[in-house]
């Protein structure tokens, strides 16, 4: 399937030939095909979804002729043909770029659409621009495109993408959860804005801003974007660049899960840790963080007091609010079938989850001494805790039967509560002796987890309002 490309290039030939290789390879935003004295001083691009599944693009470019001569260029915007089916299943072919409009210094210019052969494109919109010596001009383009969806798997495509950052596939921290399996094999939309060819302009691009508005109520857990360092706020992704020669393109992946009833949520502490690491690499706003943090509780039917959270989750196809689902599980609700009484296995210090921030070898003495106490949680696991500062505890869980380290990322402020004969673990439990649950400017909530298939799975938590 095709990906979305936003692309303009410059032809210095006054004649467009059908087999001209100038049309070959990947297209991009505006760029010269040979050396030039034209500098792209600034660019500002906005992309937003339409109500009928298409995308609208509005781009503004500021250029300057650095030479003492008049430079006349022909600008080409590549187009390609696509096949689509109507409601009756009848296929038809149409051009991909729709409603294309170009302006130079605020005045609409006439463009010519020509069919071409060779390369990745079958056509192009063409128009000419002349720059006097040292003249500056503003070029604008607007168009509609879209209707494509990738049939490949979301996770695999993301990892193969050039410049993919470690941890973009945050769900792989616990790959056996329902959400992880659904995301991994999900179809997706891939939106590409090619920046790299901008390096062909004279000098550096002094300022660039690329803003992509996401579809309404897009679950941030189904969004992945490159390069990292963008701003995720108000349901938009924004990249700012200053005085740069582009070396990497922008790519945005939007998963579209097959099963709309499976909650795409953070299900385990390992996934939560991986998601937080990814969010920390970008500038993610508080509301987006709140969505991710509250997603497992929405999956449990939690009704939120905050209007923005309630509105967002109500728009998710998998969300079923329920006043009957109280966040107060009991240890007796999660009994274990058997208590392990055999010999304890030696700790496998290489078995820590890949997202572990702490190196278990550095805590070898604590873990080795702790496991000697034998199972104290969920039949054959041992919870080992130690302090990490004021109002801070690290809680590791080790399987006494296999020696496997289940997690070292469960950090608490008010400790944990658990039982040998129960799969339930309570982080920051309610304690009548603790009258003040505030640490700094935050009220510490209770979190409930259950042990299942060698991983902690989030049960519920009072909504964080």
pLDDT for res 450: 93
Rounded to an integer, the average pLDDT of 397-410 is: 93
pLDDT at residue 231 above 70? Answer: yes
Question: What is the CA angle 330-338-405, rounded to 5?
Answer: 80
**pLDDT confidence of residue 166:** 65
Confidence (pLDDT) at 437: 58
Q: Residue 93 to residues 87, 90, 250: CA-CA distances in angstroms?
A: 15, 10, 28
In sequence order, which ranges of 257-389 are alpha helices (DSSP H)? 269-281, 286-299, 307-314, 364-371
Residue 28: per-residue pLDDT: 32
pLDDT band at 12 (very low <50, low <70, confident <90, very high): very low
Residue 461: closest CA among 288, 270, 293, 319: 293
Q: pLDDT (tens digit, 9 = 90+) per residue, 137-172?
A: 999 999 887 755 555 688 888 888 766 666 688 998
Residue 266 has pLDDT above 50, yes or no: yes
Mean pLDDT of 106-133: 82
Whether 347 has a pLDDT exceeding 90, the answer reads yes
201-228 tens-digit pLDDT: 888 999 999 999 999 999 999 999 989 8
The per-residue DSSP string of 218-286 comes to: --GGGEEEESS--EEETTEEEEEEEEE---S-EEEEEE--S-TTS-----SHHHHHHHHHHHHHTEE-H
Q: CA 151 to CA 1: how far, in whole Å?
A: 7
pLDDT digits (tens, 9 = 90+) for 327-341: 678 899 899 999 999
User: Distance between CA atoms of 415 and 430, rounded to whole angstroms?
Assistant: 10
The torsion angle over the Cα atoms of residues 128, 133, 138 and 142, rounded to 10 degrees, is: 20
Backbone φ and ψ of 347, nearest 5°: -65, 130
pLDDT digits (tens, 9 = 90+) for 358-403: 899 999 999 999 999 999 999 999 999 999 988 899 999 999 999 9
User: 88-92, 116-120, 299-303, 379-383: which has the minimum mean pLDDT?
Assistant: 116-120
Domains, the chain, ranges and CATH? 4-255 (2.60.40.3680), 333-460 (no CATH)
Q: Are strands 38-49 and 205-213 parallel, antiparallel or unpaired?
A: parallel
Cross-strand pairs, 55:
49, 145
């Amino acid at each position: 399937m095709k990906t979305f490309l936003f692309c303009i290039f410059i032809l210095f030939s006054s004649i467009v030939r059908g087999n001209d290789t100038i049309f070959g390879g990947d297209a991009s935003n505006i760029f010269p095909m040979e050396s030039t004295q034209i500098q792209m001083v600034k660019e500002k691009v906005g992309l937003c979804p339409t109500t009928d599944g298409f995308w609208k693009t509005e781009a503004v470019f500021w250029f300057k002729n650095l030479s003492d001569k008049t430079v006349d260029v022909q600008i080409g915007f590549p187009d390609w043909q696509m096949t689509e089916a109507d409601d009756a299943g009848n296929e038809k072919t149409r051009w991909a770029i729709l409603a294309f409009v170009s302006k130079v210094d605020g005045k609409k210019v006439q463009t010519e659409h020509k069919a071409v052969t060779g390369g990745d494109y079958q056509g192009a919109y063409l128009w000419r621009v002349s720059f006097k010596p040292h003249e500056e001009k503003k070029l604008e383009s607007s168009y509609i495109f879209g209707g494509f969806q990738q049939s490949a798997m979301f996770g695999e495509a993301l990892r193969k993408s050039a410049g993919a950052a470690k941890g973009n596939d945050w769900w792989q921290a616990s790959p056996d959860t329902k959400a992880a399996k659904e995301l991994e094999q999900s179809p997706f939309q891939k939106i590409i804005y090619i920046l790299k060819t901008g390096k062909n302009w004279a000098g550096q691009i002094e300022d660039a801003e690329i803003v992509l508005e996401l579809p309404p109520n897009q679950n941030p857990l189904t969004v992945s974007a490159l390069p990292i360092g963008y701003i995720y706020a108000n349901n938009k992704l924004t990249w700012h660049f200053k005085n740069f020669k582009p070396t990497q393109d922008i790519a945005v992946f939007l998963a579209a899960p097959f099963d709309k009833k499976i909650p795409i949520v953070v299900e385990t502490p390992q996934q939560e840790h991986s998601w937080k690491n990814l969010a920390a690499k970008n500038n993610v706003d508080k509301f987006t963080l709140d969505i991710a943090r509250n997603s497992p509780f929405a999956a449990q039917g939690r009704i939120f007091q905050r209007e923005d959270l309630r509105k967002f989750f109500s728009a998710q196809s998998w969300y079923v609010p329920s006043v009957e689902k109280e966040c107060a599980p009991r240890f007796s609700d999660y009994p274990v079938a058997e208590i392990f009484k055999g010999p304890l296995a030696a700790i496998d210090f290489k078995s820590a989850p890949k997202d572990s921030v702490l190196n278990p070898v550095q805590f070898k003495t604590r873990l080795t001494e702790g496991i000697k106490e034998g199972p104290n949680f969920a039949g054959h696991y041992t919870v080992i805790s130690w302090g990490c500062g004021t109002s801070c505890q690290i809680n590791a869980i080790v399987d006494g039967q296999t020696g496997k380290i289940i997690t070292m990322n469960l950090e608490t402020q008010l400790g944990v509560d658990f039982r040998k004969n129960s799969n339930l673990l309570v982080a920051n439990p309610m304690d009548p002796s603790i009258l003040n649950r505030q640490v700094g400017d935050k009220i510490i909530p209770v979190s409930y987890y259950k042990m299942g298939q060698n991983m902690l799975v989030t049960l519920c938590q009072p909504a964080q309002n």
